[in-house]
Chains A and B, each alone.
Chain A
Amino acid sequence: MTKRAELLPGTLDMLILRTLERGPLHGYGIALSIRRISEDVLTVEEGSLYPALQRSLLEGWVKAEWGKTETNRRARFYTLTPEGHRQLGVEMSEFEQMIAAIGRVLAGSQAG
């Protein structure tokens, strides 16, 4: 398996949930939103997006229903569930802790 380093491992679920916090979106919308907000730094591979969405559906973090886009096309919209909200909180705090820890290590090694 080749892995590109665009996304920190284990963060995709969190990014999806965070994106959906702002309102229901379809898969393409989620990918687009992540790319735009990160100013093209983070690219969600479609090959990872859909499996991740299915996983979130199974875990009950998101719900999916079919609707119409602005251009009047049928698409599946994903909505964050309360459970997904809680999960997002957990993942974000874990992530922040990790970033802080990495930061401390980097700062420490520089000082030493």
Chain B
Amino acid sequence: MRAIGRLVRRMGLLVQRGRFRSELEEEMRFHREEMEREIEAGGVNGAEARRAARRRFGNETRVRERSQEVVGFQFETVAQDLRFAVRQLRRNKGFTVTAVVTLALGICASVAIFAIVDAALIRPLPYREPSRLVSLYEAISVGPQFHISWPDYLDWKRMNKSFDALDIYATRSYMEKTPQGVQMVDGVDVSDGLFKTLGVTPALGRDFRTGEDLASAPRTVILSYGAWQKRYGGRKDVLGQTVTLNGELNTIIGVLPREFHFVPAEPAEFWATIHDTRSERGSHNFLGVARMKKGVGLEQAAADMKTVTAQLERQYPDTNRGRGSTVLSLTEVIRGDVRPVLVMLLCGAALLLLIACVNVVSLLLTRAENRRREIAVRGALGASRVRLMRQFVTEGLLLVATGSVVGATLAAVALRAAEDLVPADMLARMPYLAGMRMSGHVLLFTAGIVVLAGIVFGIAPVLRMPESVSNESLNDGGRTAAGTGWKRFGSKLVVVELATAVVLLVSAGLLGKSFYRLLHVETGMRAEHLATAMISLPRAQYAKDDQIQLLTKNLLERVERLPGVASAGIVSDLPVGSGDGMTAVQVVGNPELHKNDEIVARFASPGYFSALGARLREGRYFTEEDEMTKLPVVVINQTMARWYFASGQAIGQQIKAWDKPPARVIGVIDDIREGPLELEVRPAFYLPSSAGPDPGFGLVVRTELEEELLPALSAAIHELDPGIAVYAESTMSGKIHDSPSATIHRGSAWLVGGFAATALLLGVVGLYGVIAYSVSQRTREIGVRMALGAGRGRVMKMVMREAGWLTVMGIAAGLACSVVAATMMRGLLFGVSAWDGSTLIAVAVVLGGAALAASAIPARRAASVDPMEALRAE
């Protein structure tokens, strides 16, 4: 009760601050005047009386202050402390700038990385109740995530008991006819209810209606927001317009919301309904997405789907034997890939922030030590211990506040810049990155780390405040003991700093090495001087195999006549791609061997291998004759030879794939990386392209020109037929360099490298600070030592030993932590073990060398102390 009364009265005073002050003033003036009168009455004259009264009254300001302290919330004194702190920091510009820049760097890195984490992992996905959405696949012996067939989809939809809705989609490349020629555009074929299942309503126009995915329905298409902006300038009258995709007229009926993305199918500009890709039960083209009923969990849904697929296995043993299903959370599917990288980056940023804080705290503490005399003086003049402490805390908080504002601003600027820096194709694959900004989450996070840093900065100086403010502190005698105390604490901090720097350096080293290994992974070809492109023939004109074969023959001849071209070849799918396009094969005479393992299948022209620079191990490549005679032959890679045949026995064996006649193995080549760089090479076989002509294929050209050739290449092909789409033109080196895995490795290596460089700098500066401070405090001791005959070399050695000890402890602790950290990020490494000795040694050497250099400066200064001067100065 009383406390409440007190609070109410205090609040009253707070709002009437001005009145309180003027009343107090008046009251005190009255008091002083009465006092003057009293003294005057005692026979003292006016001026004298006034002086006497004032003397007795004491320091008026002080009285006023203390009265205000009693009633106020100490705002006044806080403001005072703040003013004083600003003065202090301004007087010491070097210190202030160092501290603020260090903190700002740490905070900027953390905030910027967190903004990415927020965009990619935290912000809810742009669907209604995303936690109820699951991704569906068929599970077969090779792996759990394979495509679903159209009839299976219909049965799943009908038979399941766990889902409110179930839909499917398939990514497509459409050939779009434009006035400029034929272009390839990315799109998705979906079943009619996909957007309803996701809970997404078009921003403009309408969603697909039920039945719009029937073959008889008129063709309609929904645009992505990006496509609407880019192709139609965001005009509203786009609805009802038509677009020609794969030679078919499609009516635009809607535009998706700006924030919509569906990572499993991105990049996609056109969303059409499934019309012609549906097929029989044995043909698997689709991936599924479903919304679980309220209260149904993942396990329950998976168990339900197991019942469904088991029943289908019994019902259709020919096509469905061994085909189960996989149910994964859609959120997990979308975010699972990037989570480890981002978590690692966030940890890196957090370590950098830690090292920055430690650095500034130790700077602050050094200063606190240097200000012992000032504190003692102020204490002697009447400042209370609490008040002095508050002064230090205020200074610390002021630094944190300034550092945070600068850091957060830098982060905001960096994020703005990152929007333009993120490569377009990366953005297409990770559309959520467009959401990187200072969102509410990010601001909250920023506030969190600022408060945390504030607490650290508030507490540290208090812990180290001199225990008693006594007269002893006033003379220099008190310094030695305090100096020792600080040294012990400060050196602990510097060990933490160095250890953190080691962890970051090792991580950066491992990531950099992974990236290098990835780029220099054995690809099985000569990647330099190789131009590539994807070609797509309009299906209407090239419906027959003969037409395709004639065109490819002409195309290769035309390309090989181009200046600068040495040779050219075509293949059904380019190396360093997705690695899809697999089938199971049987060895004639041993049909059970790896019967259910799907391996990579490619169709290649006779010139393909030599153009690519593949290496033949045994036998020979295809020849024109093989194409002419149509004798079934096959070239296999080494892994396949190892899997299926005894060493050296592959040539002459026969294998059978699909319903084609058995083909005789005529050659074994070194493994070519067909899939992503970081994946293990699978067995692969190459059939002559005449064995499976397809209107879509890749072109490889061996040339001295590389990049300059690309436009000419496209022009030459269009000369043959302007209706042919040429796309994804790139050099092979570019393809390797910009492959998704290389991009992720490069990005994380650069970022962590940046963190590590900063950490190295901060750690070494921290060490320098500690040693320099120690030397300055020991000047007298050093003087005495030298006066007693210690040589300069010996003094230098003494200082270096101190620094060396700290460095060794820091590096040792850091290396131990690094191995743990590296083990945790093992999944992100490629071709490097967490125990990579050379990286660990290199980091130890780099940090040790830098630390040595940093401590050599104060050590030299110590050695150049003039003993006479040092002793006199004290």
Contacts and interface: CB of A to CB of B under 8 A. Distances in A.
B239 to A, nearest CB: 71
A1 B382 contact: yes
B30 A75 contact: yes
A74 to B, nearest CB: 7
A43 to B, nearest CB: 9
Contact of A46 (B31, B38, B382, B384): B31
B95 interface: no
Contact of B69 (A1, A2, A51, A59): A51
Identify whether the interface residues of A are mostly helix, strand, loop, or mixed: helix
Nearest to B20: A54
30 contacts: A1-B382, A26-B30, A26-B31, A27-B31, A32-B38, A45-B58, A46-B28, A46-B31, A46-B56, A47-B58, A47-B59, A47-B62, A47-B63, A47-B66, A50-B64, A50-B66, A51-B67, A54-B67, A54-B70, A54-B71, A57-B9, A58-B6, A58-B10, A59-B2, A60-B2, A60-B5, A60-B6, A74-B26, A75-B27, A76-B26
Interface in B15-71: 23-24, 26-28, 30-31, 34-35, 38, 56-59, 62-64, 66-67, 69-71
Given A1-B382, A26-B30, A28-B30, A58 B70 contact: yes
Given A2-B382, A45-B58, A58-B70, A73 B9 contact: no
Contacts of A73: 30
A50 B2 contact: no
A95 to B, nearest CB: 21
B23 A76 contact: yes
Contact of A50 (B24, B34, B382, B384): B24
Identify whether the interface residues of B are mostly helix, strand, loop, or mixed: helix
Contacts of A60: 2, 5-6, 9
A59 to B, nearest CB: 6
B63 A55 contact: no
Interface string A59-76: 110000010000001111
Contact of A74 (B28, B30, B62): B30
Contacts of B31: 26-28, 31, 46
A76 B59 CA distance: 21
A31 to B, nearest CB: 8
Interface residues of B, number: 29
Interface in A54-112: 54-55, 57-60, 66, 73-76
Contacts of A54: 67, 70-71
Contacts of B58: 45-47
Contacts of B71: 54, 57-58
A66 B27 CA distance: 10
A51 to B, nearest CB: 4
Contact of B63 (A46, A66, A75): A46
Contacts of A31: 31
Given A27-B31, A28-B35, A50-B28, 5 more contacts: A51-B67, A54-B70, A54-B71, A58-B71, A60-B6
A45 B58 CA distance: 8
Nearest to B34: A28
Contacts of B382: 1-2
B570 to A, nearest CB: 91
Contacts of B70: 51, 54-55, 58
A59 B57 CA distance: 25
B433 to A, nearest CB: 56
A59 B472 CA distance: 40
Interface string A1-43: 1100000000000000000000000111001100000000000
A1 B384 contact: yes
Contacts of A51: 63, 66-67, 69-70
Contacts of B56: 46
A51 B58 CA distance: 14
Nearest to A55: B70
Contacts of B63: 46-47, 50-51
A60 to B, nearest CB: 5
**What 6 A-B pairs are tightest by C-beta distance, nearest first?**
A54-B70, A28-B34, A51-B66, A28-B31, A50-B67, A51-B70
Contacts of B6: 58-60
Nearest to A83: B2
A68 B615 CA distance: 112
A84 B6 CA distance: 14
